[in-house]
Each structure stands twice: as structure tokens, then as C-alpha cells.
Amino acid sequence: MPTLLADSFTAALARLANDEQKQAKLTAFDLQTAPDAPGLSFHRIDASKDPNFWSVRASRDIRIIVHKTGASLLLAYVGHHDDAYRWAERRRIEAHPKTGALQIVEVRERVEEIAVPRPDGAAPGRAPDEVRGAAPLFAGLTADALLSVGVPEDWLGDVGRADEDGFLALAQHLPAEAAEALLEYAATGRLAVAPAPVSDPLAHPDTQRRFRLMEGLDELKAALDAPFERWTVFLHPAQRGVVERRFNGPARVVGSAGTGKTVVALHRVMRVLREDPDARVLLTTFSEPLARALRAKLALLAVDRPGLADRVTIGAFDAVAGELLALATGRRPHVADPATVRTLLRKAGDAAGDGVSEAFLVSEWTQVIDAWQIADLAAYAEVPRMGRKNRLGARQRERLWAVFGRVRAALAERGLTTSAGVFAAAAAHYGARPGKPFTHVVVDEAQDLGVAELRFLAAIAPAAPEALFFAGDIGQRIFQQPFSWKGLGVDVRGRSVTLKVNYRTSHQIRRAADRLLPGSVRDVDGIEDERFGTVSVFEGPEPEILVAADAEEEARAVAAFLRAALADGIAPSEIGLFVRSDAELPRARAAAAAAGLAVRTLEDRGGAAAALLGTMHLAKGLEFRAVALVACDEGVLPLAARIADVADEFELDEVVTTERQLLYVAATRARDRLLVSAVAPGSEYLEDLSAPP
């Protein structure tokens, strides 16, 4: 018997405790292999409006809801007895009369009220059209337009009357494609073009992203064993257009955390591989742990296409540059560590006797001399010092070059280079060659590209219209100072697309995190990342902001948060614990130990049954169902050591900004639950996180 698996089943399965999940999976396997076996107990759900809903007993209290039509069986939901029956009694499964897509529809008459938060703080419960008398959000859309994106007929009235606040509550009751299309309309004012109607419901794209036909037991096992991992690479309609769009030059997708930039980048890679059998793709990002995560996600996407991913090289910026330079020269570069460079700068500054602070020398070297690979005084005289408050005259540059020239010479004598030097050498070699090592370069977390990295990536990509594709969020920049991409020959103006629908992070977490950043961010080339108008497709509990009296109280509270997540069926591998720096790691470990939760680090390749523990910088690009940000104290965020090391007012502004953005990055790793903890008085940023909406 053909078996269909609904995403509502895998989502409900993930909410069960581990033992309950095992029982449900075993019963699902039995339904796949022998649905008529006498041991399976089918009971029709008589109170349901849909006569095809049945329950199947998985254990004493766990029931699987199946939908039986003809010779097919659909696994629709799983839960405790009463919960499972209530779910089935309030739903029907049918083909939409306009689109033809198969939908799981809530029966409107069974939804007694749609709770809408009232701005005056009174109890919820009013219908959407009664809230504040605000203008209906979709007044400009006809009933036919609403039907075209999958709104069920019995929900047309509610959608037509809904205002902005009311629709956030209403969206939870609509089929996913309808809610997403309307959220996109609310964010952009444009209604997405719906796929063409079909006669076979199983052939519709919206059906295929919500229901999966299981060809055999092995496929069902794989689908049930990794529902969360599958969700992290799922392509939603608002993202599909960017994946399929053709660009006539370098292109960039931007958007706030959770809008699917990485998913778009991964699917762009897959599109290139499918269309061009000779394609050689580089998928790169800023760190090796994140490169490993991309490798795992690409493997999920390519699981049905053996050998396809073999034509993709995945690695961190510096690792790729080092490998390519070694191939070109026959030897690996020796990179000086930051402490060595700092020592050389201090000694050269002391020898020059110019009285310039060490902090300024380190900053000028990092942001100007090394970043732009300045080789002589003439180049130093002309290099742009974008945004730096210290203006330097010709004589000042001459005196400073005496210091920086000594450092360059000292590094050369020791046979050392810098990371920027590796990028520059690789760019010089491959930029001069007509043949390039890759046909396409796809960059994730592109906001943290520096001058040297961008020059390198441009040099190893061919001069083809779609050879360079970037994904990033200016608001998540935590490593690099801003500079002009256009000035380096990478012009994405007119080819920068902003995603506005957040699929990863709940409305409550996104709303709190957004308070940390301005409503819009403009880059040096004038491209504006408009953060206003981003919407989330689901809701969840409000983030918890805790300022404890001492570290012991904090550890108890964090442990309680972790235990509650585990008790609600969140797997240890779906939990992240992050701190600002290594110095705070013991506090997070203590909380995990108090909760009986095993932890691992990004360097640990195993540990699937453990939560991830690390610093906020390493959390970037990762996703979890629950996140605890521990030890967000005063003096920790922003980090006092960074404040003490600034060279001028511009750098102070940059430190405060990037530390704020770092907290934003860490907070938005959470999908469903977030706890931010500190010891009194706590970071100044916590006031923004906990401010009323």
C-alpha cells in the first residue's frame, strides 16, 4: 500500500519523548510494511468532519492519526490519545478547489476563537476585525487572488477582515503555502505567483513539499530519524525565486537571521550541479565548523543524487586559499599568529620612538596595511582609510611606514606571512590565469568577507554572469570593518535580493532580537538592507531574560530551562549553549551538568546525544530548537578587553556595534526557545532584549 508522510506527522513526532518516539516509529514501520496485520488496531474517528481519519494505537497512550483513501495511507499526526483525537476532529484533508494541491485544513467551525493580543493589555479573544479598528491587511486582494495562493474557502472571510496583529494569530490556522504567501504580501506588498493548478493533487509543488511518498521502509526510516535536519534545508516558496533567478553579474541575497539565506545558497549550488554536468563549484564560508555544517546540509539535499556533491569543494575561506596557494607553489604558507605580529609591531614602534600607542599600531596594521597588502610608502599614501577618525598627513604616514616596513621585513626574514598575505598571493596567481579552479563560487556569511578575502574569491571565479553568488546579512557582521565591494570590482548593485519571511525563528524570538539592531543598515556602496517588515511564520514562547544575583542562582535557572526542554521532547543535539568568550565556558558547563545534560564542542565530531557548547562567534550559521546564552554580564557584552584596545572613536563605535550584532547572531540561533542569562547588573544590551514590544 502506498504510504504518504505529512510534515505535520514529523513535527508532532519531534515533540514526543524519546521512548514515545520509538514506539511511534515502530508502529509507522508496521503500517508501511504490513498495514493489514491483525496486531494493528484501527479506530475510525467518528467526531471528525473527515470520514477518512483513523487512529492507530502505538502504545498505551500514543496514537497515530492516519488518513485512509482507497489503496493509500497517509501518516498525518501522532500524539497522546486526547491530543491526537482533538487534532483529527478539527481537521480535514482535501484537494484545494482552486490550486489542486493536497491540504491539511482546519475546520473553521471547530475553531471557537482566534486569540489576538490586545494593545491595551486586556484579555485576548476578539476576532481579527474587532482589534483596534485597524485597516484590513488584505483589502486589496480579491477572493480569487486569495484562493490562488491556497486559502481554504471557509477561511476567506477571516483573511479578508484581518489586520496586522490579527493575521499573526490567524496564520497559524492556515495551510502553510497560504500563510507564507500572505506573509510575503504583508512584508513586500507583492503576492507571489502561485504554481499552475493541477489535476493530480500529488503532482502539485505545494503537496510535494508537505507530503512525501515513501517508496520503501528504508526511506521512511530516514525521514523519521532526521526530521529536524531535513527542516533546516527545506526550500520555501519565497526563497525558490532567488534560487531559480538568472543574474547577469555577481549577485547577493540578504535578509535578517532566519530568512533562509544559507538554504538559498545550498539550493543554488544544487541547481548549478543539475544544470551543468561540467560545473565545479566552491561553497565557502568564514570558518571550518560552519563549512562542516554546510557539508552535512548539502549531503541531505543530494541524498537522492549520488555523486552530485562530488563536484563541490566546501571549506573555510582561509583553508581554501591555503590549499590553492599550495597547489600553485608546491609548498604551504606559514602564517604568523596574531600574538607574533603584535609583538613585532610593539618592538618596531618602540624602536621608532614615535610615541604612537600599540593599540593604534595594531588597528592600523590590521585594518589598513595588512588588509590592503600595502607594500611601500607610495601605496600607503593612496590607500583609502575608510571611516577611520585619525586623519594622517604625509609626514605622519612616513613615520608610521618606518614601523610597518620593519614589521613586513621581520615577517619575511622569518619566512612568515599573514592570512591576508595568503589571500593576496593566491589572488595574484589565479587572477592572472585564464583557466580558473572553479566555474562557480557560492559564499555563505558573506558579510564577514574582508578586503583580502573578496579579492581572492573574485580572482578564482571566471568572468561569467552567474559565477559569483553571495549570501549574508549586514546586521550580522561581527569580524570585518566595512569597505566598498564595488571598489574591488564586485558590484552587486541591482542584483541584491532581500528575503523578508523568517522561517527559522519564532515571532517572539525574532521580535526581541530585532530590538538589538537598527531598522535598516546601509553598506558602503549604498545598498540598504531594510530590516523593517520581516515576519515570522510561526509563534512560540517569549524569550526568557534572567539577571541572577550570583553565578549559583544563574546555574540553577539555566539548568531548569534545559531540563524543561528535554522533558518536552527536544533532543540534546537540538540544544545550544553559548557564551561570549572561553572565560565564561565553565559557567555554561556547570549549568549543563546540573541539568544532567552532556555537552560537546564544535571540534568533537561525534556526540550526537549531546548539546553543543561554545562561544557566540562559533554559533554563527548554526540552528537549534532551544538556545541558552549564559554569562551575558556587564564587562562581558561588550567585552571589556575589546573596549580597552580601541584606537579611536571610530573603533569604539565599531566594537559596540559588532558586540551588539554578536548577541543578535547568538540569540537568533534559536528556533523555538531562548534563554539569556547574566549575573547582576547584566549587560546593557539586555534592556533592549527585554523591552516591551
**CB atoms < 10 A from the CB of 165, how many?**
17
State residue 635's pLDDT score.
93
Write the pLDDT tens digit of every residue in 595-648. 999 999 877 755 568 999 999 988 887 889 999 999 999 999 998 888 877 766
Spatial distance between the Cα atoms of 464 and 278, rounded to a whole number of angstroms? 15
Mean pLDDT comparison of 28-37, 70-79, 143-152, 635-644, highest-scoring range: 143-152
Residue 680 has pLDDT above 80, yes or no: yes
Mean pLDDT over 512-534 rounds to 73
Mean pLDDT over 513-525 rounds to 76
Residue 123 has pLDDT above 70, yes or no: no
Task: Give me 318's grid cell.
Answer: 582561509
DSSP lists the bridge partners of residue 624 as: 670
What ranges do the domains of the chain cover? 3-101+205-225, 108-194, 237-330+435-521, 338-416, 541-689
The residue among 84, 68, 82, 69 whose CA lies nearest residue 24 is 84
CA 9-675-287 angle, 5° bins: 80
State residue 396's pLDDT score.
84
Structural fold of domain 3-101+205-225 = YaeB-like fold (3.30.2310)
Do domains 3-101+205-225 and 541-689 share one topology? The answer is: no
What angle in degrees, to the nearest 10, is found between the helix axes of 7-14 and 18-33?
150
Residue 231 has pLDDT above 70, yes or no: no
Q: Pick the range with the lowest mean pLDDT from 114-123, 254-263, 491-500, 596-605.
A: 114-123
What angle in degrees, to the nearest 10, is found between the helix axes of 551-567 and 585-594?
50
Q: Pick the range with the lowest mean pLDDT from 27-31, 262-266, 648-652.
A: 648-652
- Sequence letter at residue 325: L
Mean pLDDT over 341-366 rounds to 85
Global pTM reads 0.69
Mean pLDDT over 99-118 rounds to 75
Q: Return the CA Rg of the chain.
A: 27
What is the full DSSP assignment across 573-598?
GGEEEEESSGGGHHHHHHHHHHTT--
Which CATH code for domain 237-330+435-521? Answer: 3.40.50.300
Positive or negative, the CA dihedral 675, 678, 682, 683 is: negative
State residue 124's pLDDT score.
39
Spatial distance between the Cα atoms of 174 and 181, rounded to a whole number of angstroms? 11
Spatial distance between the Cα atoms of 79 and 16, rounded to a whole number of angstroms? 7
The number of C-alpha atoms within 13 Å of 686 and in the hemisphere containing its C-beta is 24
Q: Judging by beta carbons within 10 Å of its beta carbon (0-12, 13-18, 19+), is residue 16 exposed, middle or buried?
A: buried
Contacts of 375 (CB under 8 A, 6+ apart): 408
Whether CATH 3.40.50.360 fits 541-689: no
Mean pLDDT over 525-540 rounds to 72
Spatial distance between the Cα atoms of 575 and 569, rounded to a whole number of angstroms? 11
